């Protein structure tokens, strides 16, 4: 009975994964292809939501909720705020020159190449990845790992964020002085 | 076992949903009665005894009004806006523990829909999502005033979220857990968090006012400057959804404040009364609802007492007063915790 239930849960899990993965790809394509910038941002929000579902399926609750708060709740609100404030529309959008389009294609191609290369590198691992601790993503375990094994990179990245914040304030202040 | 679990949770979810709607419905009535009381008027008294049927009459009116969608509006997003506002308002109540476990026929029934171990962050996430309904609706209306309202809502929400998050961090240092159930259980008897985090509670309370768009923070719908703010173009039940979502938000944030700072379902001397566990649980749940209703009254009291902020005052309060205070609160909490 329990073996049957386990198999059933596995099947449901896999089908949810495939459904959500499909939705992530569809919505990220819509981000690129929709003409209206506000629609783009809204599709991006849905894409981030599908990522949250992926994290939940991986039992990484903390990562899921942080992704939810930081990306969906904070960064995307700011994105939407800026785009609404500028009120970009299809008719006000400036025409892109051919040079910009070619540069865009080259940059995108480079990114795609890197991603494909990275994916190919993972293929060389013959042994499938086995998660030994399925509750690694819970708050307590994540905190222990972050503050023991990865303390230095963690603190360094926080200093990096702080310097970025100070830099942004400095830049904003300079501008207001120039106006005065 | 599994079926029983699903049925149990289904009943609980339905009950919580129904109670939130009922309380939100009568909050609209209470709002007018409180306003009338504070301004020495009578208030609604025509529909039913003491005007008790007024919310039903209002609802019926909303449903029968003509529905107008502006010609140049983005139709789908125009409908998505109020729906999203309503959805996010109802989501927050999922992690609130409404009482201790009930024991019926030897089986423990939890009075909490789900106890995820990041419950506090979940509420914070839902709160931060709430602004999307206002923003999408305001933008989709294709009206300058609505857009201004939407932008104000966004900037206000972002500004006060930071202070709210910082006040939650200080609370977290005291409780040491993110699970709402454990936070409520820790405050057993009279060990309420308000005694350990008075400043944190004050910051959280102010931010809760700002996040629910209640006066003095209702600049997104400031009628003297923006006509109706983000819902200028809305009519019929879509407008009703926006107005109703505000009352559900108020109910949920009252429940969160009662759970986080005022002991949740705990009440003084609960372990010395000598009643059976089930009776204590029921008294506790009733107590929680009394706390929630007190908070809702406080929301209304403030609304009809304090005038609206000016926009620069709002930003100054958020960035120059609340955030430094919240950081000072974290430092203070850390010092006290390391000394004791």
Instruction: Report domain extents, chain B.
Output: 68-339
What are the mean pLDDT values of chain B's consecutive 10-residue runs (340 residues total)? 78 87 88 87 83 86 85 83 88 83 74 79 85 85 83 84 88 84 81 84 89 79 74 84 87 89 80 75 85 90 84 85 89 88
Residue B286 is predicted with a pLDDT of: 87
Mark the ranges of chain A whose per-residue pLDDT is less than 70.
1-5, 87-96, 125-134, 136-137, 174-180
* Most A CBs within 10 Å, among B117, B141, B161, B323, to test the A interface: B117
Tell me, what's the pLDDT at B56?
87
Residue A59 sits in a domain of what CATH number?
1.20.120.1200
**Any CB–CB contact under 8 A between A53 and chain B?**
no
**Cross-chain residue pair A84–B121, CB shorter than 8 Å:** no
- Give yes or no: residues A79 and A34 share one domain: yes
pLDDT tens for B83-93 read 988 888 888 88
Q: Are the beta carbons of A80 and A38 closer than 8 angstroms?
A: yes
Segment B200-250, tens digit of pLDDT? 889 999 988 888 888 788 777 777 777 777 888 888 888 888 888 888 888
Asked if residue A125 and residue A51 are part of one domain, the reply reads no
Q: Which residues of B touch A142 (CB under 8 A)?
A: none
**A144 occurs within a structural domain:** no
Residue of A77, A85, A86, A168 for testing the chain B interface, max B β-carbons within 10 Å: A77
Is B57 in the A-facing interface, judged by CB distances under 8 Å?
no
- A112 prior amide bond cis, ω within 30: no
**Boundaries of domain holding A114:** 98-136
Please tell me the predicted confidence (pLDDT) of residue A107.
Answer: 94
What pLDDT, on a 0 to 100 scale, did the predictor assign at position A39?
A: 85
In Å, how far is A41's CA from the nearest CA of chain B? 11
Choose the final residue of a domain: A55, A72, A90. A90
Taking the C-alpha atoms of residue B214 and residue B309, their distance in angstroms, rounded to an integer, is 11
Q: Is residue A85 located within the same domain as residue A105?
A: no
Backbone angles phi, psi at B108, to 5 degrees: -85, 130
Residues A32 and A112 in one domain: no
* Together in a domain, A132 and A64: no
What pLDDT, on the 0 to 100 scale, is given for residue A112? 92
Does a structural domain hold residue A143? no
Both A42 and A103 in one domain: the answer is no
* Shared-domain flag, residues A6 and A44: yes
Give me the pLDDT at residue A180, please: 47
A9 shares its domain with A59: yes
Question: Do A127 and A61 share a structural domain?
Answer: no
Q: What is the pLDDT of residue A89?
A: 61
- Residue A157 counted as domain residue: yes
**Contacts of residue B141, Cβ cutoff 8 Å, sequence gap at least 6:** B70, B73, B78, B147, B230, B232, B233, B234
CB contact (8 A) between residue A73 and residue B128: yes
Q: How many domains is chain A built from?
A: 3
Which of B115, B107, B141 is CA-nearest to residue B221? B141
Helix segments in chain A, DSSP class H: 2-33, 37-57, 61-66, 76-86, 98-123, 139-148, 151-179
In a domain, A37, yes or no: yes
The answer to whether residue A145 sits within a structural domain is no
Same domain, A2 and A44: yes
Q: What is the CA radius of gyration of chain A?
A: 21
Q: Where are the alpha helices (H) located in chain B, listed in sequence order?
A: 2-38, 54-64, 75-91, 119-129, 131-140, 144-175, 180-186, 198-211, 223-226, 236-261, 277-303, 311-316, 323-339
Same domain, A23 and A64: yes
- Note whether A52 and A112 are same-domain residues: no
The C-alpha atoms of residue B97 and residue A69 are separated, in whole angstroms, by: 22
Of A65, A72, A77, the CB nearest to B154: A77
DSSP state of B271: T
């Amino acid at each position: 009975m329990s073996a049957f239930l386990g198999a059933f849960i596995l099947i449901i899990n896999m089908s949810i994964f495939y459904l959500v993965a499909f939705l992530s790809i569809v919505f990220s394509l819509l981000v690129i292809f929709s003409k209206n910038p506000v629609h783009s941002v809204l599709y991006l929000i849905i894409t981030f939501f599908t990522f949250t579902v992926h994290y939940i399926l991986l039992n990484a609750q903390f990562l899921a909720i942080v992704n939810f708060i930081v990306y969906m709740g904070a960064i995307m609100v700011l994105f939407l705020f800026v785009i609404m404030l500028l009120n970009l529309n299809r008719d006000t959008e400036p025409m892109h020159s051919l040079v910009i389009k070619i540069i865009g294609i080259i940059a995108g191609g480079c990114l795609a190449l890197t991603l494909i290369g990275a994916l190919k590198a993972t293929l060389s691992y013959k042994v499938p990845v086995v998660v030994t601790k399925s509750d690694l993503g819970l708050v307590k375990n994540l905190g222990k790992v972050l503050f023991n094994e990865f303390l230095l990179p963690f603190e360094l990245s926080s200093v990096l964020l702080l310097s970025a914040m100070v830099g942004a304030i400095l830049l904003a202040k300079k501008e207001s002085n120039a106006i005065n | 076992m599994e079926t029983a679990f699903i049925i149990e949770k289904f009943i609980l979810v339905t009950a919580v949903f129904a109670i939130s709607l009922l309380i939100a419905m009568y909050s609209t009535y209470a709002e007018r009665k409180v306003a009338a009381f504070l301004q020495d008027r009578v208030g609604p008294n025509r529909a039913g005894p003491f005007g008790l049927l007024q919310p039903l009459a209002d609802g019926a009116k909303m449903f029968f009004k003509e529905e107008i969608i502006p010609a140049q509006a983005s139709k789908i997003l125009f409908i998505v806006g109020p729906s999203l506002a309503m959805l996010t308002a109802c989501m927050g109540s999922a992690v609130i523990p409404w009482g201790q476990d009930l024991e019926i026929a030897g089986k423990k029934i939890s009075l909490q829909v789900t106890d995820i171990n990041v419950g506090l962050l979940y509420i914070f996430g839902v709160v931060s999502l709430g602004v999307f309904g206002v923003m999408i609706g305001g933008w989709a209306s294709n009206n300058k005033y609505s857009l201004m309202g939407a932008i104000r809502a966004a900037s206000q929400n972002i500004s006060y979220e930071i202070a709210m998050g910082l006040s939650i961090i200080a609370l977290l240092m005291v409780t040491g857990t993110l699970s709402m159930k454990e936070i409520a259980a820790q405050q057993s008897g009279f060990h309420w968090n308000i005694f350990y985090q008075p400043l944190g509670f004050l910051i959280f309370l102010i931010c809760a006012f700002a996040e629910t768009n209640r006066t003095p923070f209702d600049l997104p719908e400031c009628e003297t400057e923006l006509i109706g703010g983000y819902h200028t173009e809305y009519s019929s039940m879509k407008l009703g959804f926006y107005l109703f979502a505000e009352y559900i938000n108020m109910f949920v944030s009252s429940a969160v404040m009662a759970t986080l700072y005022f002991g949740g379902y705990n009440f003084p001397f609960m372990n010395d009364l000598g009643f059976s566990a089930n009776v204590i649980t029921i008294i506790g749940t009733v107590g929680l609802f009394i706390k929630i209703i007190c908070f809702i009254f406080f929301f209304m009291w403030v609304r009809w007492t304090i005038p609206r902020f000016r926009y620069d005052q709002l930003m100054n309060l958020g960035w120059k007063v609340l955030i430094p205070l919240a950081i000072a609160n974290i430092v203070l909490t850390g010092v006290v915790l390391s000394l004791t």
